[in-house]
Amino acid sequence: METKEKSYPDIFQADCLSRQVLQLVADQWTPLVIYALEGGTMRFGQLLKRIDGISKKMLTQTLRVMERNGLVQRVVYPVVPPVVEYSLTPLGQTLREPMEALRVWAYGHLQEVAHARTTYDQRDQKPIQDEVATLVQQR
């Protein structure tokens, strides 16, 4: 008698769909699009203005990936020029709460992260500074 092993998602396996989903929501721009759309439907130009630093190309790619994965709905109105609007799908809406938790964490730990960066960067520079000082003293 053959027994079928039930496979469970394993995010540590390269071919696991759960890793692909994590990569989708952990992308640089996806969370920002979700934050922007949590208030409601927006046009492409509005999203571009709202998300500072994103290029038209990256916004287009991000929206396409999100639409393909069921997170964003794209509606094209047949007018001249065409009007295109984006909104979160019901699946995309389910990401609002976890993304909000990340935003709250980020805002709440800004100073700690900044301090850790400064400490780390100074630690890495100290051996170089010491070496330069030693070379200068030897001259």
pLDDT in the model for residue 139: 64
pLDDT, residue 129, reads 67
Q: Where are the domains of the chain?
A: 1-93
User: Is residue 80 pLDDT above 70, yes or no?
Assistant: yes
Radius of gyration of the chain (CA): 23
Phi and psi of 5, rounded to 5°? -80, 135
Question: The domain at 1-93 falls in which architecture?
Answer: Orthogonal Bundle (1.10)
CB 44 within 8 A of CB 59: yes
Q: Which amino acid is at 99?
A: M
Mean pLDDT of the chain: 89
Separation of alpha carbons 128 and 130, rounded Å: 5
- Give the mean model confidence (pLDDT) for residues 105-118: 93
